[in-house]
């Protein structure tokens, strides 16, 4: 048997030193050394082998170092009993315990006929020192093996993180060895299955152990429990746990950990409360689970209970509670914990320091976070990333980039969180150039396929309108999670590609509420309201998904856009049933829905019932009043908002200026436009200028509107010139209309509305040549007029009509009703219906919708009609007369605003 010592020396040096240091530092060995061990007894007088063996064994108990072992070895050689295999095995064991592999090898090579114990001791020593290759070589050379031999090899592989090799040895033992596996064999194999999460093999081993009656020993059953927990099979773990007669703390802690890992937080907490006793691991596990699941207050409460019961907090406890403070932004408790750490620890632990930086950064205390960061004796990547993320979160993006550069200069390698944070900065800045550089950096350090990094890349590219690059990253990902798919759906949605967003959704292996919300938003934001509502219904049927406030805010937007008031009320009832109607965002969605369905009184009732209102709540009411033509109410609501201490934003001013414009409140509009910058420091954007041009133009102050456009510090937008053109048509100013039309067609050459409005201005002024020229230009450019359509909700259905409709199943009755009603108005009210030579222009879609409403709805019920373009003058006059003759209320929402018709008049005062 040849066993070369030289090639082992370099490999064993570091492990030998670690082993010696560990043993010397142990309290037991220090106590032994203090007893003056009898290593120097006079062994020479002993002629009896048995007496010498007894003395040698007693002396070996007091060995305190490798040096002591060698002295005892020397005594053995001097007596001549060194040929004893038994005594040399004792030497092997001593040297092995101290990790002195050269001595172990030397003693082993000097044994003429080593027995199984000699081989096993040698293998165990090599495994303990991490020399698995050498141990396996020796194992393969063994002439005979017993169960301990196999177990030593299995244990060595498992302790050194080679679980697959552990299972290979166990399988080899079961197939080829004459030794049957024992409890230790099964326990080791089960632990390997748990670390590899091989549930199916673990089940087979469980059945195998049951066949050999090894489950009667608690040791194997604990390994079975641990295996099921690590594999996430908690139902099977529960069965094992319930069978245990004497449950150790290890069992309770394993079950709590398993429940937490499987997201069964309630079961974990219930088990924790039923524990007969707890240790520090129990408390730390439960505190960590509470923090990870977002239960900030409960985490702090558990920490207080742990301290009150006499358990000392450690770095795990502090890190978990500080994370909880960060999640609920509880800076006071965070400071208290900081003070406790400073009092109890002489040096700040890097993990606790990282948690402190994270807590202060998330709470906006960036100066304190930087102070903790600078005072840390050791900094890890989490410290750097937490501070970088805090700076980026609060708008200090340049500072975040500078800090990242310092991090690279340390040098310190970035991790996934660092890259995801920096890519988030690129997303918020829409800086695709910098984002591409970070993409290259991710490729360079090997993180381009890491799921969080790839998800951040998809989001960054989609925010920068580079969806092709986002799609490329997505397609190259070797594995994806729910966030990956959701980010891709959002990317398609942002460019209006609803078809690909839907296809991506359908390919997903699993979905959560965020995914459903993304698809819902894709449909609603791109005008596919019906598909959005169908998606909501499908979402309700998914048992694993519970709609949240985002779901309902989005779906109320769909009801508002499509004016489906009845369905909206049903959804409101559902939010009340599940307790979400009091959520501020949901209530804001309800206000918007009621406002855009013409139910401004109901919107006000919801607004008044809100306990907490944010800026969006006030803006929803201001915009609602403006759309419904109640300019005075707009002004009152805006002033009430200011009085309540809520500062307006640019949307607030768009609402109040629009309200003034629709109601002809010129002086009030000018006052609010001036106060926007003077009082609140808000620079006007194109929307504000468009409102002012509309306000001045409708009031006949066309030159003032023209001067405002000329004095704009920014380029006039389509909305600005569109407002000017509308005003010119109202007041018949074809010269300014031509100027506005020219700019409109240059800015948006494909919008048919601009051509039609300019053509109508020419027609009203009698300039038929201009009409012909506009129509010719439209034909040459391939621009077609958007067909007008109107829809009305009746009988739990939405009925859509177009001009001169022929598709509706009751269209003949609708035409009969409309013609009879029109003839009656012409006879009694001197109404003249505007008809052209073409029959298709005889009846606009809103007239057909009104006739259907008169046919289908009870006489006491108001008629609500929606129209995709602006209502014309003829239809406006017609509906006013209908409201007078029938004595009922009609509400028409066109592309710009609401018209509430009652008793022959309109809420707009013919000022639209």
As given in the structure block, the two tokens for residue 40 are: 């120097």
Q: At what angle do helices 183-196 and 199-211 cross, to 10 degrees?
A: 170
pLDDT computed for residue 32 by the predictor? 40
Whether 378 contacts 342, CB under 8 Å: no
Secondary structure percentages of the chain, helix, strand, coil, to 5: 70, 5, 25
Instruction: Give 791's strand partners.
Output: 800, 866
pLDDT tens column, 92-145: 666 666 666 676 666 666 676 777 777 777 777 777 777 778 778 878 888 888
pLDDT at residue 33 in the model = 40
Instruction: Please name the residue that has the structure tokens 């006039």.
Output: 716
Q: In this predicted structure, what is the pLDDT of residue 31? A: 37
48 vs 45, 55, 79, CA distance in Å?
9, 11, 11
Q: How confident is the model at residue 894 (pLDDT cuts 50, 70, 90)?
A: confident
pLDDT tens-digit profile of 619-666? 999 999 998 888 899 999 999 999 999 999 999 999 999 999 888 889
Spatial strand order of the sheet with 789-794 comes to 797-802, 789-794, 863-867, 890-893, 898-902, 905-906
Per-residue pLDDT band for 50 (boundaries 50, 70, 90) equals low
| Residue 800 host element (H or E) | strand 797-802
Q: Under a CB-based contact definition with an 8 Å cutoff, are residues 615 and 607 in contact?
A: no
To the nearest whole number, what is the mean pLDDT of the chain? 82
50/57 Cα distance (integer angstroms): 11
Q: Which residues contact 843 (CB under 8 A, 6 or more apart)?
A: 803, 804, 815, 818
Separation of alpha carbons 627 and 619, rounded Å:
12
- pLDDT band at residue 512 under the 50/70/90 scheme: confident
- What distance lies between CA 771 and its chain's CA centroid? 55
Q: Report CA-CA distances (Å) from 480 to 415, 416, 419, 447, 486.
A: 19, 15, 18, 14, 10
| Residue predicted with more confidence, 43 or 623 | 623
Beta strands in 425-534 (DSSP E): none
- pLDDT tens per residue, range 738-768: 888 888 888 888 888 778 888 888 887 788 8
Are 146 and 117 contacting, i.e. CB atoms less than 8 angstroms apart? Answer: no
Predicted pLDDT at 29 = 44
Q: How many CB atoms lie within 10 A of CB 199?
A: 17
CA distance 540 to 552: 12
- Looking at residue 26, its pLDDT comes to 42
pLDDT tens digits for 764-793?
A: 778 888 888 888 888 888 877 777 888 888
Measured between alpha carbons, how far is residue 412 from residues 331, 379, 383, 415, 446 in Å?
29, 10, 11, 9, 15
Mean pLDDT on 203-212: 78
**What number of CA atoms fall less than 13 Å from residue 490's CA on the CB side?**
20
Ranges 76-80, 669-673, 843-847: which has the least confidence: 76-80
Q: Which tokens is 468 given?
A: 């092709």
Instruction: Band the pLDDT of 164: cuts 50, 70, 90.
Output: confident
Residue 16 CA to residue 1 CA, distance in Å, equals 24
389 contact partners, CB below 8 Å, separation of at least 6? 361, 400, 417, 421
* pLDDT at residue 652, as a whole number: 94
pLDDT at 192 over 50: yes
Residue 226 is encoded by which pair of tokens? 């641990």
**According to the model, what pLDDT value does residue 19 have?**
45
What pLDDT sits at residue 38?
Answer: 47
Classify residue 495 by its DSSP letter. T
Q: Considering only CA atoms, which of 136, 186, 180, 128 is closest in space to residue 159?
A: 128
* Residue 622 pLDDT: 94
| 836 has pLDDT over 60 | no
Q: At what angle do helices 6-25 and 101-110 cross, to 10 degrees?
A: 120
Q: What angle do CA 754, 755, 756 make, to 5 degrees?
A: 95
Model confidence pLDDT, tens digit, residues 338-378? 999 888 877 788 889 889 999 999 888 999 999 999 888 88
Q: pLDDT tens digits for 538-596?
A: 888 876 788 888 999 999 988 888 778 888 899 999 998 888 888 899 999 999 999 98
pTM to 2 decimal places: 0.66
**Ranges 30-44, 686-700, 845-859: which has the least confidence:** 30-44
Residue 650 in contact with residue 612, Cβ under 8 Å? Answer: no
Q: Is the pLDDT of residue 506 over 60?
A: yes
Q: Where are the beta strands (DSSP E) in 441-493?
A: none
Confidence of residue 417 (pLDDT cuts 50, 70, 90): confident
CB 87 within 8 A of CB 55: no
The span from the first CA to the last CA of the chain, in angstroms, equals 105
The answer, yes or no, to whether residue 90 has pLDDT greater than 70, is: no
The confidence band for 286, taking pLDDT boundaries of 50, 70 and 90, is: very high
Q: How far apart are CA 662 and CA 625, in angstroms?
A: 10
Coil, helix or strand for 891? strand
Q: Return the pLDDT at 93.
A: 67
Report the chain's C-alpha Rg in angstroms: 41
Neighbours of 617 (CB within 10 A): 21
Tokens of 535: 């998606």
Residue 485 has pLDDT above 80, yes or no: yes
Going by C-alpha positions, the residue among 281, 239, 277, 236 that lies closest to residue 256 is 281
What's the pLDDT at 5?
37
Pick from 449, 526, 515, 453: which is nearest to 486 by CA?
A: 515
Neighbouring residues of 117: CB distance < 8 A, sequence distance ≥ 6: 89
**Model confidence at 12: pLDDT above 60:** no
d(CA 534, CA 285): 43
Of the pLDDT bands very low, low, confident and very high (cuts 50, 70, 90), residue 24 is: very low
Residue 898: how many other CB atoms lie within 10 Å: 26
Phi first, then psi: what are they for 898, rounded to 5°?
-100, 150
Alpha carbons 277 and 282: distance in angstroms, whole number: 9
pLDDT of residue 785: 76
Per-residue pLDDT at 2 exceeds 80: no
pLDDT at site 27: 37
Which ranges of 293-431 does DSSP label H, i.e. alpha helix? Answer: 296-308, 315-328, 331-344, 350-362, 366-375, 381-393, 397-409, 416-429
């Amino acid at each position: 048997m040849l066993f070369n010592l030289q090639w082992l020396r370099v490999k064993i040096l570091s492990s030998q030193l670690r082993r010696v240091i560990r043993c010397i530092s142990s309290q037991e060995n220090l106590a032994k050394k203090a007893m003056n061990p009898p290593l120097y007894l006079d062994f020479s007088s002993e002629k009896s082998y048995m007496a010498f063996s007894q003395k040698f064994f007693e002396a070996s108990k007091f060995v305190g170092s490798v040096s002591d072992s060698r002295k005892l070895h020397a005594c053995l050689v001097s007596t001549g009993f060194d040929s004893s295999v038994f005594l040399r095995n004792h030497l092997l064991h001593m040297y092995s315990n101290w990790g002195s592999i050269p001595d172990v090898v030397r003693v082993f090579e000097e044994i003429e006929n080593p027995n199984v114990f000699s081989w096993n001791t040698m293998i165990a020593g090599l495994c303990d020192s991490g020399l698995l290759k050498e141990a396996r070589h020796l194992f393969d050379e063994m002439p005979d093996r017993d169960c301990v031999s196999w177990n030593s090899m299995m244990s060595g592989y498992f302790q050194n993180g080679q679980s697959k090799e552990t299972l290979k040895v166990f399988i080899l033992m079961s197939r080829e060895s004459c030794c049957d596996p024992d409890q230790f064999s099964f326990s080791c194999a089960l632990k390997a299955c748990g670390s590899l999460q091989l549930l199916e093999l673990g089940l087979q081993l469980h059945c195998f152990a049951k066949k050999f009656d090894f489950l009667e020993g608690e040791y194997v059953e604990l390994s079975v429990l641990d295996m099921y927990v690590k594999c996430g099979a908690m139902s099977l773990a529960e069965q094992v746990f319930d069978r245990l007669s004497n449950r150790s703390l290890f069992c309770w802690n394993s079950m709590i950990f398993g429940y937490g890992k499987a997201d069964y937080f309630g079961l974990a907490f219930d088990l924790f409360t039923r524990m007969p006793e707890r240790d520090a691991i129990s408390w730390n596990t439960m505190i960590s689970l509470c923090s990870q699941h977002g239960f900030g207050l409960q985490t702090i409460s558990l920490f207080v209970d742990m301290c009150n019961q006499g358990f000392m907090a450690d770095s795990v406890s502090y890190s978990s509670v500080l994370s909880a403070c960060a999640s609920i932004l509880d800076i006071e408790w965070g400071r208290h914990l900081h003070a406790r750490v400073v009092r109890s620890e002489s040096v700040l632990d890097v993990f606790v320091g990282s948690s402190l930086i994270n807590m202060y950064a998330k709470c906006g205390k960036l100066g304190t976070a930087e102070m903790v960061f600078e005072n840390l004796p050791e900094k890890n990547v989490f410290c750097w990333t937490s501070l970088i993320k805090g700076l980026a979160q609060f708008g200090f993006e340049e500072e975040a980039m500078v800090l990242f550069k310092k991090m690279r200069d340390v040098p310190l390698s970035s991790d996934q969180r660092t890259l995801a944070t920096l890519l988030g900065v690129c997303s918020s800045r829409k800086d695709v150039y910098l984002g591409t550089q970070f993409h290259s950096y991710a490729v360079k350090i090997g993180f381009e396929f890491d799921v969080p990094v790839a998800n951040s890349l998809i989001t960054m590219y989609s925010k920068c309108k580079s969806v092709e690059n986002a799609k490329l990253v997505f397609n190259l990902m070797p594995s994806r999670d729910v966030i990956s798919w959701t980010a891709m759906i959002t990317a398609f949605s942002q460019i209006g590609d609803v078809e690909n967003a839907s296809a991506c959704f359908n390919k997903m292996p699993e979905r959560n509420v965020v995914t459903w919300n993304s698809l819902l938003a894709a449909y609603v934001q791109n005008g596919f309201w019906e598909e959005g509502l169908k998606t909501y219904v499908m979402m309700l049927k998914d048992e694993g998904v519970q709609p949240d406030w985002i779901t309902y805010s989005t779906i109320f937007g769909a009801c508002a856009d499509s004016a489906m008031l009845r369905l909206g009320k049903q959804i409101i009832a559902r939010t009340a049933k599940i307790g979400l109607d009091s959520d501020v965002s949901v209530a804001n969605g309800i206000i918007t829905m009621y406002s855009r369905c013409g139910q401004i009184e109901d919107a006000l009732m919801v607004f008044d019932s809100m306990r907490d209102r944010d800026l969006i709540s006030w803006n929803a009411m201001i915009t609602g009043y403006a759309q419904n033509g109640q300019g005075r109410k707009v002004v009152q609501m805006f002033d009430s908002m200011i009085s309540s201490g809520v500062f307006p934003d640019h949307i607030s001013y768009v609402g109040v200026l629009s309200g003034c414009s629709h109601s002809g409140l010129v002086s009030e509009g000018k006052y609010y436009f001036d106060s926007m910058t003077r009082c609140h420091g808000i620079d006007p954007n194109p929307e504000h200028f468009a409102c002012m041009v509309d306000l001045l133009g409708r009031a006949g102050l066309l030159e003032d509107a023209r001067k405002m456009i000329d004095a704009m510090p920014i380029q006039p937008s389509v909305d600005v010139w569109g407002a000017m053109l509308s005003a010119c048509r109202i007041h018949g100013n074809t010269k300014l209309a031509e100027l506005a039309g020219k700019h409109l067609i240059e800015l948006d050459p494909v919008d048919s509305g601009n051509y039609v409005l300019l053509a109508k201005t020419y027609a009203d002024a009698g300039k038929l040549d201009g009409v012909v020229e506009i129509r010719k230009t439209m034909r040459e450019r391939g621009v077609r007029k958007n067909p007008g359509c109107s829809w009305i909700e009746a009988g739990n259905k939405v009925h859509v009509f177009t001009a001169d409709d022929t598709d509706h199943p009751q269209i003949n009755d609708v035409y009969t009703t409309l013609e009879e009603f029109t003839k009656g108005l012409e006879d009694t009210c001197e109404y003249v219906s505007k008809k052209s030579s073409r029959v298709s222009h005889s009846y606009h879609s809103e007239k057909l919708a009104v006739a259907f409403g008169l046919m289908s709805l009870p006489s006491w019920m108001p008629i609500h009609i929606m129209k995709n373009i602006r209502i014309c003058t003829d239809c406006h006059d017609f509906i006013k007369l209908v409201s007078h003759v029938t004595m009922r209320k009609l509400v028409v929402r066109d592309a710009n605003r609401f018209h509430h018709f009652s008793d022959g008049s309109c809420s707009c005062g013919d000022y639209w």
